[in-house]
Amino acid sequence: MSLLFSNPEIIRNARIQLRAGRMIAAAVICAAVSITTWASIVHTDIDFSVNGLHKAGAVFGFVLNVQIAVLLICGGFYCLQAVHREKELNTFDFQRVTRLTSLEMAIGKLFGAPILAYFVTLCLMPVALIGAIRGHVPLGIVLETYVLLVLGSIAYHALALLASVLLGRGSIAVSVLLFLGLVGISSLDLFDVTISWSGPFLHLHAVSPFVLGDLIAQPPSVIERASTGLAQSYSWTDLFLGKAVPHSLVLTGLYVTFTCWFLLAITRNLKRDPSVYEIYSPIQAFLVVSYMNLLLLVFNPWAERFRVSDVTIGDKKYHFPGASPYAVEQGLLAASLWLFAILAVILLRNRERVRRRVREFGGRAAGWWAAMWPVPYLVGGIALFGSAVIGLISHYRNPGYWNLRLAIFEVAFVATWLARDALYFQWMNLRRVRHPLASAALYLVIFYVCTSIVFGALNFYHNSHGAALTAIVLPWSAFFLSPWTWSLEARLFVGALVLQCVEASVFVWLHQRKLREFLDAPSTAVAPTEEIAQHA
Protein backbone atom coordinates (compact mmCIF):
# COMPACT_ATOMS: atom_id res chain seq x y z
CA MET A 1 0.00 0.00 0.00
CA SER A 2 1.27 3.43 -0.84
CA LEU A 3 2.12 5.23 2.37
CA LEU A 4 0.82 8.55 1.13
CA PHE A 5 -1.55 8.29 -1.79
CA SER A 6 -3.85 5.49 -0.71
CA ASN A 7 -3.35 5.64 3.01
CA PRO A 8 -6.79 4.97 4.58
CA GLU A 9 -6.04 7.25 7.51
CA ILE A 10 -5.34 10.21 5.21
CA ILE A 11 -8.47 9.43 3.21
CA ARG A 12 -10.55 9.23 6.39
CA ASN A 13 -9.26 12.61 7.57
CA ALA A 14 -9.84 14.12 4.16
CA ARG A 15 -13.43 12.81 4.11
CA ILE A 16 -14.11 14.30 7.54
CA GLN A 17 -12.26 17.61 7.25
CA LEU A 18 -12.64 18.38 3.56
CA ARG A 19 -16.36 18.03 2.96
CA ALA A 20 -17.54 20.35 0.20
CA GLY A 21 -19.19 22.84 2.54
CA ARG A 22 -16.16 23.18 4.74
CA MET A 23 -13.82 23.54 1.75
CA ILE A 24 -15.95 26.27 0.21
CA ALA A 25 -16.12 28.13 3.53
CA ALA A 26 -12.33 27.92 3.96
CA ALA A 27 -11.71 29.05 0.38
CA VAL A 28 -14.08 32.03 0.73
CA ILE A 29 -12.41 33.13 3.98
CA CYS A 30 -8.95 32.80 2.40
CA ALA A 31 -10.09 34.82 -0.62
CA ALA A 32 -11.40 37.55 1.68
CA VAL A 33 -8.12 37.59 3.65
CA SER A 34 -6.13 37.70 0.41
CA ILE A 35 -8.10 40.62 -1.06
CA THR A 36 -8.02 42.55 2.21
CA THR A 37 -4.28 42.03 2.62
CA TRP A 38 -3.55 43.05 -0.94
CA ALA A 39 -5.70 46.13 -0.74
CA SER A 40 -4.39 47.25 2.62
CA ILE A 41 -0.70 46.83 1.78
CA VAL A 42 -0.50 47.76 -1.90
CA HIS A 43 -2.66 50.85 -1.51
CA THR A 44 -0.93 52.12 1.61
CA ASP A 45 1.56 55.01 1.72
CA ILE A 46 4.11 53.10 3.81
CA ASP A 47 7.40 52.59 1.99
CA PHE A 48 8.44 48.95 2.27
CA SER A 49 11.56 49.33 0.21
CA VAL A 50 13.62 49.93 3.34
CA ASN A 51 13.13 46.25 4.17
CA GLY A 52 14.22 45.30 0.71
CA LEU A 53 10.73 44.48 -0.43
CA HIS A 54 8.40 46.21 -2.79
CA LYS A 55 4.80 46.56 -1.70
CA ALA A 56 3.81 43.38 -3.50
CA GLY A 57 6.78 41.65 -1.90
CA ALA A 58 5.50 42.81 1.47
CA VAL A 59 2.18 41.10 0.66
CA PHE A 60 4.14 37.91 0.02
CA GLY A 61 5.98 38.33 3.33
CA PHE A 62 2.76 38.88 5.27
CA VAL A 63 0.85 36.05 3.64
CA LEU A 64 3.82 33.74 4.14
CA ASN A 65 3.74 34.45 7.87
CA VAL A 66 0.00 33.71 7.91
CA GLN A 67 0.66 30.44 6.07
CA ILE A 68 3.38 29.54 8.57
CA ALA A 69 1.06 30.24 11.49
CA VAL A 70 -1.78 28.22 9.95
CA LEU A 71 0.31 25.24 8.91
CA LEU A 72 2.71 25.13 11.84
CA ILE A 73 0.48 26.05 14.76
CA CYS A 74 -3.03 25.04 13.64
CA GLY A 75 -1.65 21.90 11.99
CA GLY A 76 0.30 21.22 15.19
CA PHE A 77 -2.88 21.46 17.27
CA TYR A 78 -4.60 18.96 14.99
CA CYS A 79 -1.66 16.59 15.39
CA LEU A 80 -1.67 17.04 19.16
CA GLN A 81 -5.25 15.78 19.18
CA ALA A 82 -4.83 13.11 16.53
CA VAL A 83 -4.26 10.17 18.89
CA HIS A 84 -5.17 11.78 22.19
CA ARG A 85 -8.75 12.48 21.10
CA GLU A 86 -9.17 9.02 19.59
CA LYS A 87 -8.12 7.52 22.91
CA GLU A 88 -10.71 9.64 24.71
CA LEU A 89 -13.44 8.57 22.27
CA ASN A 90 -12.43 4.88 22.47
CA THR A 91 -11.93 4.69 18.72
CA PHE A 92 -8.18 4.27 18.82
CA ASP A 93 -8.29 0.60 19.80
CA PHE A 94 -10.21 -0.15 16.59
CA GLN A 95 -7.35 1.32 14.59
CA ARG A 96 -4.83 -0.64 16.62
CA VAL A 97 -6.54 -3.92 15.75
CA THR A 98 -6.46 -3.27 12.01
CA ARG A 99 -3.67 -4.55 9.79
CA LEU A 100 -2.23 -1.08 9.28
CA THR A 101 1.40 -1.03 10.34
CA SER A 102 2.62 1.54 12.84
CA LEU A 103 4.37 3.42 10.04
CA GLU A 104 1.25 3.53 7.88
CA MET A 105 -0.80 4.77 10.82
CA ALA A 106 1.86 7.34 11.75
CA ILE A 107 2.16 8.71 8.22
CA GLY A 108 -1.62 8.72 7.88
CA LYS A 109 -2.01 10.79 11.02
CA LEU A 110 0.98 13.01 10.30
CA PHE A 111 -0.43 14.15 6.97
CA GLY A 112 -4.09 13.42 7.58
CA ALA A 113 -4.71 15.24 10.87
CA PRO A 114 -3.54 18.67 9.62
CA ILE A 115 -5.09 18.27 6.16
CA LEU A 116 -7.38 21.28 6.61
CA ALA A 117 -4.35 23.41 7.54
CA TYR A 118 -2.64 22.26 4.31
CA PHE A 119 -5.77 23.17 2.36
CA VAL A 120 -5.94 26.67 3.88
CA THR A 121 -2.24 27.17 3.13
CA LEU A 122 -2.92 26.18 -0.48
CA CYS A 123 -5.86 28.60 -0.67
CA LEU A 124 -3.52 31.44 0.30
CA MET A 125 -0.96 30.47 -2.34
CA PRO A 126 -2.38 32.56 -5.24
CA VAL A 127 -2.03 35.88 -3.43
CA ALA A 128 1.38 34.86 -2.03
CA LEU A 129 2.69 33.93 -5.50
CA ILE A 130 1.29 37.08 -7.15
CA GLY A 131 2.95 39.10 -4.40
CA ALA A 132 6.25 37.28 -4.88
CA ILE A 133 6.22 37.69 -8.67
CA ARG A 134 5.19 41.34 -8.64
CA GLY A 135 7.59 42.00 -5.76
CA HIS A 136 10.46 40.56 -7.82
CA VAL A 137 11.28 37.90 -5.26
CA PRO A 138 13.42 35.31 -7.07
CA LEU A 139 11.56 32.10 -7.88
CA GLY A 140 14.34 30.03 -6.31
CA ILE A 141 13.87 31.70 -2.97
CA VAL A 142 10.08 31.30 -3.16
CA LEU A 143 10.45 27.61 -3.94
CA GLU A 144 13.03 27.11 -1.22
CA THR A 145 10.85 28.95 1.29
CA TYR A 146 7.90 26.66 0.69
CA VAL A 147 10.00 23.51 0.72
CA LEU A 148 11.37 24.59 4.09
CA LEU A 149 7.90 25.50 5.32
CA VAL A 150 6.58 22.04 4.49
CA LEU A 151 9.62 20.23 5.89
CA GLY A 152 9.60 22.35 9.05
CA SER A 153 5.90 21.86 9.60
CA ILE A 154 6.26 18.11 9.17
CA ALA A 155 9.01 18.06 11.83
CA TYR A 156 6.91 20.03 14.31
CA HIS A 157 3.81 17.99 13.47
CA ALA A 158 5.74 14.80 14.10
CA LEU A 159 6.74 16.08 17.52
CA ALA A 160 3.13 17.05 18.26
CA LEU A 161 1.96 13.61 17.15
CA LEU A 162 4.53 11.95 19.40
CA ALA A 163 3.23 14.03 22.30
CA SER A 164 -0.31 13.01 21.37
CA VAL A 165 0.69 9.34 21.53
CA LEU A 166 2.49 9.58 24.85
CA LEU A 167 0.40 12.02 26.86
CA GLY A 168 -2.32 10.65 29.10
CA ARG A 169 -5.98 11.57 29.21
CA GLY A 170 -6.86 15.12 30.18
CA SER A 171 -3.43 16.55 29.45
CA ILE A 172 -4.22 18.26 26.16
CA ALA A 173 -4.08 21.79 27.64
CA VAL A 174 -0.59 21.19 29.02
CA SER A 175 0.60 19.75 25.72
CA VAL A 176 -0.77 22.74 23.76
CA LEU A 177 1.12 25.12 26.06
CA LEU A 178 4.29 23.07 25.75
CA PHE A 179 3.96 23.03 21.98
CA LEU A 180 3.50 26.80 21.82
CA GLY A 181 6.45 27.24 24.17
CA LEU A 182 8.63 25.08 21.95
CA VAL A 183 7.65 27.03 18.84
CA GLY A 184 8.48 30.24 20.71
CA ILE A 185 11.86 29.02 21.97
CA SER A 186 12.89 27.62 18.61
CA SER A 187 12.04 30.96 17.02
CA LEU A 188 14.79 32.55 19.14
CA ASP A 189 17.97 33.24 17.28
CA LEU A 190 20.67 31.16 18.98
CA PHE A 191 23.16 33.36 17.17
CA ASP A 192 22.22 36.06 19.66
CA VAL A 193 22.62 33.87 22.74
CA THR A 194 25.99 34.97 24.04
CA ILE A 195 27.18 33.41 27.26
CA SER A 196 30.29 35.54 27.59
CA TRP A 197 32.11 38.35 25.83
CA SER A 198 33.84 35.67 23.79
CA GLY A 199 31.00 35.49 21.27
CA PRO A 200 27.85 33.54 20.59
CA PHE A 201 27.35 30.16 22.21
CA LEU A 202 26.29 28.47 18.99
CA HIS A 203 26.59 29.75 15.44
CA LEU A 204 23.04 28.69 14.63
CA HIS A 205 20.13 30.93 13.71
CA ALA A 206 16.51 30.35 14.72
CA VAL A 207 15.21 26.97 13.63
CA SER A 208 11.43 27.39 13.61
CA PRO A 209 9.75 27.98 10.21
CA PHE A 210 8.93 31.51 11.35
CA VAL A 211 12.51 32.34 10.36
CA LEU A 212 11.42 32.07 6.72
CA GLY A 213 9.67 35.42 6.91
CA ASP A 214 12.99 37.00 7.88
CA LEU A 215 14.93 35.15 5.22
CA ILE A 216 12.99 36.73 2.37
CA ALA A 217 13.08 40.21 3.91
CA GLN A 218 16.71 40.86 3.09
CA PRO A 219 18.38 43.72 1.31
CA PRO A 220 17.69 43.68 -2.45
CA SER A 221 21.34 43.18 -3.22
CA VAL A 222 21.30 39.84 -1.44
CA ILE A 223 18.11 38.71 -3.10
CA GLU A 224 19.40 39.69 -6.49
CA ARG A 225 22.46 37.55 -5.91
CA ALA A 226 20.24 34.52 -5.36
CA SER A 227 21.00 33.09 -8.73
CA THR A 228 24.73 33.07 -8.06
CA GLY A 229 24.60 30.08 -5.77
CA LEU A 230 22.96 28.64 -2.70
CA ALA A 231 25.63 29.68 -0.19
CA GLN A 232 25.45 33.26 -1.39
CA SER A 233 21.65 33.38 -1.47
CA TYR A 234 21.29 34.57 2.06
CA SER A 235 23.10 36.81 4.42
CA TRP A 236 22.18 34.22 7.07
CA THR A 237 24.72 31.49 7.38
CA ASP A 238 25.53 29.12 10.23
CA LEU A 239 28.94 27.88 11.22
CA PHE A 240 29.15 24.14 10.68
CA LEU A 241 32.53 22.65 11.64
CA GLY A 242 34.01 26.10 11.23
CA LYS A 243 32.62 26.64 7.74
CA ALA A 244 29.81 28.97 6.73
CA VAL A 245 26.78 27.01 5.55
CA PRO A 246 23.50 28.57 4.33
CA HIS A 247 20.93 28.51 7.08
CA SER A 248 18.37 27.00 4.73
CA LEU A 249 20.61 23.99 4.18
CA VAL A 250 21.09 23.57 7.91
CA LEU A 251 17.34 23.85 8.44
CA THR A 252 16.70 21.17 5.82
CA GLY A 253 19.11 18.82 7.55
CA LEU A 254 17.67 19.48 11.00
CA TYR A 255 14.05 19.14 9.87
CA VAL A 256 14.67 15.86 8.07
CA THR A 257 16.73 14.26 10.83
CA PHE A 258 14.41 15.31 13.65
CA THR A 259 11.37 14.14 11.67
CA CYS A 260 13.04 10.75 11.37
CA TRP A 261 13.80 10.58 15.10
CA PHE A 262 10.23 11.56 16.02
CA LEU A 263 8.74 9.11 13.53
CA LEU A 264 10.90 6.35 14.95
CA ALA A 265 9.48 7.02 18.42
CA ILE A 266 5.91 7.19 17.10
CA THR A 267 6.12 3.97 15.15
CA ARG A 268 7.70 2.17 18.12
CA ASN A 269 4.76 3.04 20.35
CA LEU A 270 1.67 3.76 18.28
CA LYS A 271 0.26 0.22 18.29
CA ARG A 272 1.59 -0.74 21.70
CA ASP A 273 -0.24 -1.22 24.95
CA PRO A 274 0.10 2.22 26.64
CA SER A 275 1.24 0.57 29.88
CA VAL A 276 4.42 -0.61 28.14
CA TYR A 277 5.18 2.52 26.13
CA GLU A 278 8.92 3.02 25.67
CA ILE A 279 9.80 6.11 23.63
CA TYR A 280 13.01 4.57 22.32
CA SER A 281 14.99 1.44 23.00
CA PRO A 282 18.05 2.22 25.16
CA ILE A 283 20.36 2.16 22.14
CA GLN A 284 18.05 4.39 20.08
CA ALA A 285 17.68 6.86 22.96
CA PHE A 286 21.43 6.94 23.32
CA LEU A 287 21.83 7.66 19.60
CA VAL A 288 19.20 10.44 19.64
CA VAL A 289 20.89 12.21 22.54
CA SER A 290 24.33 11.65 21.03
CA TYR A 291 23.04 13.25 17.82
CA MET A 292 21.84 16.30 19.71
CA ASN A 293 25.16 16.51 21.53
CA LEU A 294 26.90 16.29 18.19
CA LEU A 295 24.92 19.35 17.05
CA LEU A 296 26.29 21.22 20.06
CA LEU A 297 29.80 20.34 18.99
CA VAL A 298 29.52 20.98 15.25
CA PHE A 299 27.77 24.35 15.51
CA ASN A 300 30.13 25.59 18.19
CA PRO A 301 32.46 28.29 16.79
CA TRP A 302 35.60 26.67 18.22
CA ALA A 303 38.22 28.70 16.39
CA GLU A 304 36.35 31.99 16.81
CA ARG A 305 35.88 31.56 20.52
CA PHE A 306 39.56 31.02 21.17
CA ARG A 307 40.77 33.62 18.66
CA VAL A 308 42.97 36.35 20.14
CA SER A 309 42.14 39.69 18.59
CA ASP A 310 43.20 43.29 18.91
CA VAL A 311 40.55 45.85 18.10
CA THR A 312 41.03 49.58 17.82
CA ILE A 313 38.04 51.65 18.85
CA GLY A 314 38.65 55.36 18.40
CA ASP A 315 42.23 55.93 19.40
CA LYS A 316 42.30 53.10 21.94
CA LYS A 317 43.45 49.55 21.32
CA TYR A 318 41.64 46.68 22.99
CA HIS A 319 43.07 43.18 23.43
CA PHE A 320 40.60 40.28 23.43
CA PRO A 321 42.34 37.13 24.65
CA GLY A 322 39.63 34.69 23.56
CA ALA A 323 37.46 32.48 25.72
CA SER A 324 38.67 30.59 28.76
CA PRO A 325 38.86 26.84 28.01
CA TYR A 326 37.09 26.17 31.32
CA ALA A 327 34.22 28.52 30.45
CA VAL A 328 33.79 26.74 27.10
CA GLU A 329 33.90 23.30 28.72
CA GLN A 330 31.48 24.25 31.48
CA GLY A 331 29.08 25.90 29.01
CA LEU A 332 28.99 22.82 26.82
CA LEU A 333 28.68 20.43 29.76
CA ALA A 334 25.79 22.50 31.16
CA ALA A 335 23.98 22.36 27.81
CA SER A 336 24.72 18.69 27.42
CA LEU A 337 23.49 17.99 30.94
CA TRP A 338 19.93 18.85 29.83
CA LEU A 339 20.21 16.50 26.89
CA PHE A 340 21.43 13.66 29.09
CA ALA A 341 18.62 14.43 31.52
CA ILE A 342 16.25 13.74 28.58
CA LEU A 343 18.09 10.46 28.01
CA ALA A 344 17.67 9.57 31.68
CA VAL A 345 13.92 10.24 31.55
CA ILE A 346 13.55 8.11 28.40
CA LEU A 347 15.48 5.24 29.97
CA LEU A 348 13.64 5.16 33.29
CA ARG A 349 11.73 1.93 33.83
CA ASN A 350 8.21 2.00 35.20
CA ARG A 351 6.57 -0.60 37.41
CA GLU A 352 4.98 -2.52 34.53
CA ARG A 353 8.30 -2.77 32.72
CA VAL A 354 10.09 -3.98 35.86
CA ARG A 355 7.31 -6.49 36.51
CA ARG A 356 7.67 -7.91 33.01
CA ARG A 357 11.45 -8.08 33.38
CA VAL A 358 11.10 -9.93 36.69
CA ARG A 359 8.72 -12.40 35.01
CA GLU A 360 11.12 -12.82 32.12
CA PHE A 361 14.53 -12.84 33.80
CA GLY A 362 13.68 -13.81 37.38
CA GLY A 363 16.35 -12.95 39.98
CA ARG A 364 18.63 -11.43 37.34
CA ALA A 365 16.14 -8.55 36.92
CA ALA A 366 16.54 -7.68 40.61
CA GLY A 367 20.32 -7.99 40.87
CA TRP A 368 22.90 -5.29 41.49
CA TRP A 369 23.59 -4.72 37.80
CA ALA A 370 19.87 -4.17 37.19
CA ALA A 371 19.83 -1.79 40.16
CA MET A 372 22.45 0.39 38.41
CA TRP A 373 19.99 1.25 35.63
CA PRO A 374 20.23 3.69 33.78
CA VAL A 375 23.74 4.66 34.88
CA PRO A 376 25.80 2.77 32.24
CA TYR A 377 24.24 4.71 29.34
CA LEU A 378 24.47 8.07 31.11
CA VAL A 379 28.04 7.71 32.27
CA GLY A 380 29.10 6.26 28.92
CA GLY A 381 27.44 9.10 27.04
CA ILE A 382 28.89 11.86 29.19
CA ALA A 383 32.33 10.25 29.06
CA LEU A 384 32.12 10.18 25.27
CA PHE A 385 30.86 13.74 24.97
CA GLY A 386 33.29 15.03 27.62
CA SER A 387 36.23 13.39 25.84
CA ALA A 388 35.20 15.05 22.58
CA VAL A 389 34.92 18.45 24.26
CA ILE A 390 38.26 18.09 26.00
CA GLY A 391 39.87 16.92 22.76
CA LEU A 392 38.48 19.87 20.75
CA ILE A 393 39.43 22.40 23.43
CA SER A 394 42.96 20.96 23.52
CA HIS A 395 43.13 21.39 19.76
CA TYR A 396 41.73 24.93 19.48
CA ARG A 397 42.66 26.60 22.77
CA ASN A 398 45.21 29.35 23.15
CA PRO A 399 48.53 28.68 24.73
CA GLY A 400 48.03 29.35 28.39
CA TYR A 401 46.87 27.70 31.57
CA TRP A 402 44.98 24.48 30.94
CA ASN A 403 44.78 21.80 33.55
CA LEU A 404 43.74 18.53 31.97
CA ARG A 405 43.04 16.97 35.37
CA LEU A 406 40.58 19.72 36.21
CA ALA A 407 38.90 19.29 32.81
CA ILE A 408 38.53 15.54 33.39
CA PHE A 409 37.32 16.15 36.96
CA GLU A 410 34.56 18.43 35.62
CA VAL A 411 33.35 15.69 33.26
CA ALA A 412 33.50 13.04 35.99
CA PHE A 413 31.64 15.29 38.39
CA VAL A 414 28.84 16.00 35.93
CA ALA A 415 28.55 12.29 35.14
CA THR A 416 28.32 11.37 38.83
CA TRP A 417 25.80 14.12 39.50
CA LEU A 418 23.55 12.93 36.71
CA ALA A 419 23.98 9.28 37.71
CA ARG A 420 23.03 10.09 41.31
CA ASP A 421 19.88 12.00 40.36
CA ALA A 422 18.91 9.46 37.69
CA LEU A 423 19.17 6.65 40.24
CA TYR A 424 17.03 8.68 42.61
CA PHE A 425 14.39 9.14 39.89
CA GLN A 426 14.54 5.44 38.95
CA TRP A 427 13.98 4.43 42.57
CA MET A 428 11.14 6.93 42.98
CA ASN A 429 9.57 5.84 39.68
CA LEU A 430 8.93 2.39 41.14
CA ARG A 431 6.97 3.74 44.06
CA ARG A 432 3.25 3.12 43.87
CA VAL A 433 1.91 6.66 43.68
CA ARG A 434 -0.17 8.36 41.04
CA HIS A 435 2.56 10.57 39.53
CA PRO A 436 5.86 9.12 40.74
CA LEU A 437 8.11 11.21 38.48
CA ALA A 438 6.36 14.48 39.21
CA SER A 439 6.55 13.92 42.96
CA ALA A 440 10.21 12.89 42.66
CA ALA A 441 10.98 16.09 40.76
CA LEU A 442 9.13 18.15 43.34
CA TYR A 443 11.06 16.62 46.26
CA LEU A 444 14.35 17.16 44.43
CA VAL A 445 13.59 20.81 43.72
CA ILE A 446 12.61 21.36 47.36
CA PHE A 447 15.85 19.68 48.47
CA TYR A 448 18.01 21.79 46.14
CA VAL A 449 16.27 25.05 47.06
CA CYS A 450 16.44 24.44 50.82
CA THR A 451 20.09 23.37 50.84
CA SER A 452 21.02 26.31 48.60
CA ILE A 453 19.44 28.70 51.08
CA VAL A 454 21.18 27.04 54.05
CA PHE A 455 24.60 27.08 52.36
CA GLY A 456 24.03 30.66 51.25
CA ALA A 457 23.19 31.68 54.82
CA LEU A 458 26.39 29.98 55.98
CA ASN A 459 28.33 31.97 53.36
CA PHE A 460 29.77 28.78 51.85
CA TYR A 461 29.80 30.03 48.28
CA HIS A 462 32.39 32.71 48.79
CA ASN A 463 35.33 30.62 49.90
CA SER A 464 36.98 27.68 48.21
CA HIS A 465 36.67 25.46 51.26
CA GLY A 466 32.92 26.05 51.51
CA ALA A 467 32.45 25.60 47.75
CA ALA A 468 34.01 22.15 47.96
CA LEU A 469 31.68 21.23 50.81
CA THR A 470 28.58 22.43 48.98
CA ALA A 471 29.61 20.30 45.99
CA ILE A 472 28.78 17.21 48.05
CA VAL A 473 25.06 17.91 47.83
CA LEU A 474 24.78 20.77 45.32
CA PRO A 475 26.81 19.58 42.36
CA TRP A 476 26.53 22.77 40.35
CA SER A 477 29.28 24.18 42.56
CA ALA A 478 31.59 22.33 40.19
CA PHE A 479 30.45 24.68 37.41
CA PHE A 480 31.94 27.61 39.30
CA LEU A 481 35.19 25.80 39.85
CA SER A 482 38.09 27.96 38.72
CA PRO A 483 41.69 26.78 38.25
CA TRP A 484 42.58 28.86 41.29
CA THR A 485 39.96 27.16 43.52
CA TRP A 486 40.99 23.80 42.14
CA SER A 487 44.63 24.41 42.94
CA LEU A 488 43.65 25.23 46.54
CA GLU A 489 41.06 22.57 47.24
CA ALA A 490 41.65 19.78 44.72
CA ARG A 491 41.59 17.10 47.41
CA LEU A 492 38.39 18.42 48.91
CA PHE A 493 36.70 18.48 45.50
CA VAL A 494 37.84 14.93 44.78
CA GLY A 495 36.44 14.03 48.19
CA ALA A 496 33.13 15.63 47.16
CA LEU A 497 33.19 13.49 44.02
CA VAL A 498 33.74 10.35 46.07
CA LEU A 499 30.87 11.30 48.38
CA GLN A 500 28.66 11.83 45.29
CA CYS A 501 29.48 8.25 44.35
CA VAL A 502 28.51 7.12 47.86
CA GLU A 503 25.18 8.97 47.54
CA ALA A 504 24.62 7.29 44.18
CA SER A 505 25.39 3.92 45.81
CA VAL A 506 22.70 4.55 48.41
CA PHE A 507 20.16 4.99 45.63
CA VAL A 508 21.44 1.82 43.94
CA TRP A 509 20.80 -0.02 47.20
CA LEU A 510 17.32 1.48 47.56
CA HIS A 511 16.55 0.65 43.93
CA GLN A 512 17.73 -2.92 44.41
CA ARG A 513 15.49 -3.29 47.47
CA LYS A 514 12.55 -2.09 45.39
CA LEU A 515 13.37 -4.61 42.68
CA ARG A 516 13.46 -7.40 45.27
CA GLU A 517 9.93 -6.41 46.29
CA PHE A 518 8.78 -7.17 42.75
CA LEU A 519 10.56 -10.51 42.87
CA ASP A 520 9.00 -11.44 46.19
CA ALA A 521 5.52 -10.11 45.37
CA PRO A 522 2.93 -12.62 46.70
CA SER A 523 0.60 -12.12 43.75
CA THR A 524 3.09 -13.85 41.49
CA ALA A 525 2.58 -17.16 43.31
CA VAL A 526 -1.10 -18.08 43.18
CA ALA A 527 -2.60 -21.48 42.49
CA PRO A 528 -2.41 -22.57 38.87
CA THR A 529 -5.52 -23.14 36.82
CA GLU A 530 -4.22 -26.00 34.69
CA GLU A 531 -6.68 -28.51 36.13
CA ILE A 532 -9.51 -26.22 35.10
CA ALA A 533 -7.98 -25.90 31.68
CA GLN A 534 -8.13 -29.62 31.17
CA HIS A 535 -11.92 -29.38 31.07
CA ALA A 536 -11.77 -27.11 28.06
Partner 1 sequence: MIRLDNLTKQYDLPSGKAGAILAADRLTFEVPDGEIFGLVGPNGAGKTTTLKMICGLHAPTAGRVTVNGIDVQREPEEAQRHIGYLADFFSLYDDLKVWEYLDYFAHAYKMDEGTIRGRVDEVIGLMNLESKRDQLISGLSRGMKQRLGIGRAIIHDPPLLVLDEPAAGLDPKARVELKALLKELHAQGRTIFITSHILADLEEICTSIAIMEKGRLLRIGKLEEVMREGKSVRRFRVRLAAAGFALAEWLAARSGVSEAVEETMAVRFAFAGDDLILAELLREIVTAGAPVCGFEEVTETLERLYSRVSSGEVM
User: CB-wise, 117 or 412, nearer to partner 1?
Assistant: 117
User: CB-wise, 99 or 169, nearer to partner 1?
Assistant: 99
Contacts with partner 1 in 502-521 (CB under 8 A)? 521
User: CB-wise, 224 or 352, nearer to partner 1?
Assistant: 352
CA 302 – CA 311 distance, rounded (Å): 20
The identity of residue 104, as a single letter, is: E
Q: Does 6 bind partner 1 (CB under 8 A)?
A: yes
CA 248 – CA 517 distance, rounded (Å): 54
Q: How many helices (H) and strands (E) does the chain have?
A: 26, 6
User: CB-wise, 51 or 101, nearer to partner 1?
Assistant: 101
Q: How many CA atoms lie within 13 A of 405 on its CB side?
A: 7
Spell out, one character per residue from 254 to 283, where the chain touches partner 1: x when CB under 8 A holds, - when not. Answer: -----------------xxx-xx-------
Q: Does 465 bind partner 1 (CB under 8 A)?
A: no
Q: Where are the alpha helices (DSSP H) in 324-463?
A: 325-347, 351-361, 368-371, 375-396, 404-429, 436-457
Residues in Cβ contact with 24 at an 8 Å cutoff, skipping those fewer than 6 apart? none
Q: Does 16 bind partner 1 (CB under 8 A)?
A: yes
DSSP letters of 160-180? HHHHHHHS-TT-HHHHHHHHH
Based on C-alpha coordinates, what's the Rg of the chain? Answer: 28
Q: Does 81 bind partner 1 (CB under 8 A)?
A: no
Continuous segment of H or E residues that includes residue 296 = helix 282-298
Interface stretch with partner 1, choices 75-83, 96-104, 248-256, 389-397 (CB under 8 A)? 96-104
Q: Which of 99, 243, 317, 491 touches partner 1 (CB under 8 A)?
A: 99
Q: Does 95 bind partner 1 (CB under 8 A)?
A: yes
Interface stretch with partner 1, choices 3-11, 116-124, 307-315, 507-515 (CB under 8 A)? 3-11
CA 171 – CA 183 distance, rounded (Å): 19
User: CB-wise, 314 or 528, nearer to partner 1?
Assistant: 528
Continuous segment of H or E residues that includes residue 107 = helix 102-112
Contact 344, 378 (CB under 8 A): yes
Q: Which of 46, 50, 97, 313 touches partner 1 (CB under 8 A)?
A: 97
Q: Does 43 bind partner 1 (CB under 8 A)?
A: no
Contact 163, 178 (CB under 8 A): yes
Q: How far is the CB of 179 from partner 1 (least distance, A)?
A: 24
Continuous segment of H or E residues that includes residue 15 = helix 8-17
Closest CA to 428 of 345, 500, 367: 345
Residues in Cβ contact with 487 at an 8 Å cutoff, skipping those fewer than 6 apart? none
Contact 333, 410 (CB under 8 A): yes
Pairing of strands 316-320, 309-313: antiparallel
Contacts with partner 1 in 325-354 (CB under 8 A)? 351-352
Q: Which of 4, 15, 193, 368 touches partner 1 (CB under 8 A)?
A: 15
User: CB-wise, 46 or 527, nearer to partner 1?
Assistant: 527
Q: Which of 18, 51, 96, 464 touches partner 1 (CB under 8 A)?
A: 96
Q: Which of 2, 5, 20, 94 touches partner 1 (CB under 8 A)?
A: 94
Contacts with partner 1 in 100-119 (CB under 8 A)? 100-101
Q: Does 20 bind partner 1 (CB under 8 A)?
A: no
Q: Does 463 bind partner 1 (CB under 8 A)?
A: no
Q: Name the 3-class secondary structure at 313.
A: strand
Contact 161, 110 (CB under 8 A): yes
Q: Does 433 bind partner 1 (CB under 8 A)?
A: yes
User: CB-wise, 6 or 312, nearer to partner 1?
Assistant: 6
E strands, 235-361, are 237-240, 243-246, 309-313, 316-320
Spell out, one character per residue from 469 to 508, where the chain touches partner 1: x when CB under 8 A holds, - when not. Answer: ----------------------------------------
Q: Give 206's DSSP letter.
A: -
Burial of 275 (0-12, 13-18, 19+ CB in 10 A): exposed
Q: How far is the CB of 99 from partner 1 (least distance, A)?
A: 5
Q: Does 1 bind partner 1 (CB under 8 A)?
A: yes
Spell out, one character per residue from 357 to 376, where the chain touches partner 1: x when CB under 8 A holds, - when not. Answer: --xx----------------
Q: How far is the CB of 14 from partner 1 (least distance, A)?
A: 11
Which residue ranges make up the site for partner 1 (CB under 8 A)? 1, 6, 8-9, 11-12, 15-16, 19, 89-91, 93-101, 271-273, 275-276, 351-352, 355-356, 359-360, 432-434, 521-524, 526-530, 532-533, 535-536
